[in-house]
Amino acid sequence: MVKLDNVTYWYREGEPPALRSVNLRVERGESICVMGRNGSGKSTLARLIASLRHPGRGKISINGQTVSQDATDTGVGILFQNPDNQMVAVMVEKELAFALENQAMPQEQMERTVVTLAERFGISHLLDRLTSELSGGEKQRVALASVMIQNPSVLVLDEPDSFLDETGRRILEKELERLHRESPELVELRITQNPAVAKTYKRLVVLDNGCIAADGQPSEIFEDTELAERTGLIQPLGADRAIDLPQTFGTSIQRHGERVTRATLEDGSFGYGAEADVLDSISMSLSTGEIVGLVGPTGVGKSSLALLLCGILEPTGGKVNYAGQSEALIERKLIRGQVVAILQQPERQFFLSTCAEEVAYGPSNLGHKLEPSDIDAFLDMVGLAHRQFRERDPYSLSAGEKRRLAFAAVLSMAPALVIFADPTAGLDQESVGRFMQIVRALKERNVGQLV
C-alpha cells in the first residue's frame, strides 16, 4: 500500500512547488495510471514514492510504514523515463546482477537468475554488451529487467515504453501481467502520456500544476472534455493551427560557402568496438524540402544512421557526402549548423546554465548573436513560455520540456537538414501536436527532415 498525506515538494527555495498538498492512497494489489502535461509533477511524484526525494512537507507511507529520510530499502522498484539515469554497471550482465550482489546471493544462483531473466525479457543477446553502446530501447529493456529482478512490492514505472519498439512493448505488458498474476498484492503506479495505455487501467490520476486535478475511472475522465483539454490529456480544439517560425529564422546567420541541400550515405557501415556492424553497406540520402520517416525495431541502427548523416559518427566503411545546389561537394567542416540532430536523450546536448543560453549557444558558434527577443521567440515556438523558462536551468526541466528546449536550441541555427531521434518520446498530447506543426513549418521553409 502507498499513501501520501498532504505532500508538498520544492526543488529550490523561492520557486513554486513541484507538488502541492498531494493526498493519494493506492491499496495493495491496485494498479493505477498517472497522466498530466509536461512539468505537472509526475516524475517528481515517482521519485518521492521511490524515496529518491523526500517531502518538504507531509509524509509518505509504504506498506504501513512511514518512509524516513535514511530509509534504504522500502520495497519500491522504479524504472526511470531515461534509462541512462539508473545504469550503474559497464556490462549488461553486471547491470542485471547488481541488486543480487547487494543481497549477497550465491554466485551460482545469481548466474542462473540472470540468465533466466534475460531470456524472459528477450535480452540474452545483450548480456556481454557494454551498457553505453545499447540503443535507447535496449537500455529500457535492460533497466526494466534490472528492476524486476528485485521482486519489488511497489513498482513505479515512469513512461516505461517511451523508447520501446512494438516487441519491447509486448514484452513489457506480458511481464506486468505475469507479475500481477504471481504477486497479487503488487502495487503498480504507471506514468504515461498515451491515452490508449491509460484506458487499460481501472483508475487514472491526473496531475496539473503539481496538484491532483482528477482521480477516477479513465473513461469518465476522458469524457470530460473541458478537464481533458485543460490538463493536457487531449489536444484542444484549434490546436492544429499553423505555427510560424521566428521571423529571424535563417535571415541573419552568415554561412561560409554554399548551403547544404543534400546529405548522402554511400555503402555506409558502422559498428561499436569489436562487435558486429550495426549497419552494413547502407545507402540513403536526405535532401532539403523532404520529410523522411525512419522506422525499425530496437537496436537495428536507426540512431547510428542518423548520427552518421550529421557527421557526429564516422562510418567504418563507405562515406558520407554533402552537396549544395550546384551539386559540388561541400567540406565537412563547412556543414556546422546546417546538418543537425536532436538526440534521443536531449539533455546530452545541453551545456549551459539557463534555457536562454542554450538557445543562443548554437548561433553564437556560427558568429551570430541572437537578440533577447529572438531567444524568446524560439522558446515560445516550442511551447516554453519565455517569461517562465528563460532563466530556468535546463536540467531542472521535465523530460518533455527538455526535449522541447532541444528543438529550440537546434532550430535557432536555421539548419538545412534536421534529424529528429524519437522526437515525441516523453511529450504530452499538446506538445506532440506542436511538434507536428513545427515539422510542417520547417517543410514550408524547405528544410529537410529525417524523423
Q: 111 an active-site residue?
A: no
Spell out a b/e string for 333-363, using b for 16 or more CB atoms within 10 Å of the CB, else e.
ebbbbbbbbbbbbbbebbeeeebbbbbbbbb
Cβ distance 190 to 31 under 8 Å?
A: yes
Q: What is the mean pLDDT of residues 422-436?
A: 90
pLDDT at residue 139 tops 80 = yes
Between 12 and 443, the more confident residue is 443
**Burial (CB count within 10 angstroms: exposed 0-12, middle 13-18, buried 19+), residue 298:** buried
pLDDT digits (tens, 9 = 90+) for 386-399: 999 999 999 989 88
In three-state secondary structure terms, 287 is strand
> Of these residues, 159, 188, 358, 430, which one is catalytic?
159
Averaged confidence pLDDT in the chain: 90
pLDDT digits (tens, 9 = 90+) for 79-117: 988 888 889 999 999 999 998 998 889 999 999 999 999
pLDDT at residue 47 tops 90 = yes
pLDDT at residue 238 tops 70 = no
Between 7 and 422, the more confident residue is 7
pLDDT at residue 151 tops 90 = no
Instruction: Say how far apart CA 438 and CA 193 lie, in whole Å.
Output: 20
Give domain 2-231's CATH number out of 3.40.50.720, 3.20.20.70, 3.30.499.10, 3.40.50.300.
3.40.50.300
pLDDT at residue 244 tops 90 = no
Q: What is the mean pLDDT of residues 375-402?
A: 94
Position 241 scores a pLDDT of: 65
Instruction: Say how far apart CA 178 and CA 157 lie, in whole Å.
Output: 16
Position 225 scores a pLDDT of: 93
Q: Residues 172, 43, 301, CA angle at the centre, nearest 5°?
A: 50
Min mean pLDDT across 162-176, 233-247, 303-317 is at: 233-247
Spell out a b/e string for 136-151, using b for 16 or more CB atoms within 10 Å of the CB, else e.
bbbbbbbbbbbbbbbe
**Burial (CB count within 10 angstroms: exposed 0-12, middle 13-18, buried 19+), residue 241:** exposed
Position 420 scores a pLDDT of: 95
Q: Give residues with Cβ within 8 angstroms of 256, minimum separation 6.
A: 334
Q: Give residues with Cβ within 8 angstroms of 187, minimum separation 6.
A: 1, 2, 26, 27, 28, 29, 30, 31, 153, 154, 155
Q: Give residues with Cβ within 8 angstroms of 131, minimum separation 6.
A: 87, 89, 90, 91, 92, 95, 139, 142
- Angle between helix 107-120 and helix 136-148 axes, rounded to 10 deg: 130
Above pLDDT 70, what percent of the chain? 96
Closest Cα to residue 298, out of 109, 140, 106? 140
- The answer to pTM > 0.95 is no
Position 404 scores a pLDDT of: 95
pLDDT at residue 152 tops 80 = yes
Cβ distance 22 to 7 under 8 Å?
A: yes
Tell me the HSE value of 45 on the side-chain side, using a 13 A CA sphere.
36
DSSP 428: -
Residue 293 cell numbers, joined: 520517416
Above pLDDT 90, what percent of the chain? 62
Q: What is the mean pLDDT of residues 16-28?
A: 95
Closest Cα to residue 346, out of 186, 136, 147, 193? 136
Q: Integer distance in angstroms from the first to the last C-alpha of the chain?
A: 42
Q: Residue 385: pLDDT band by 50, 70, 90 thresholds?
A: very high
Closest Cα to residue 229, out of 221, 217, 219? 221
Q: Which run of H or E residues covers position 381?
A: helix 372-381
Position 18 scores a pLDDT of: 94
Q: Give residues with Cβ within 8 angstroms of 70, minimum separation 6.
A: none
| Cβ neighbours, 10 Å, residue 259 | 15
CATH 3.40.50.300 location in the chain = 2-231, 260-450
Position 300 scores a pLDDT of: 85
pLDDT at residue 250 tops 80 = no
Position 418 scores a pLDDT of: 96
Position 163 scores a pLDDT of: 80
pLDDT digits (tens, 9 = 90+) for 268-288: 999 887 666 789 999 999 999
Q: Residue 251: pLDDT band by 50, 70, 90 thresholds?
A: low
Q: Residue 324: pLDDT band by 50, 70, 90 thresholds?
A: very high
The CATH number assigned to the domain with range 260-450 reads 3.40.50.300
Q: Residue 73: pLDDT band by 50, 70, 90 thresholds?
A: confident
Q: What is the mean pLDDT of residues 428-434?
A: 90
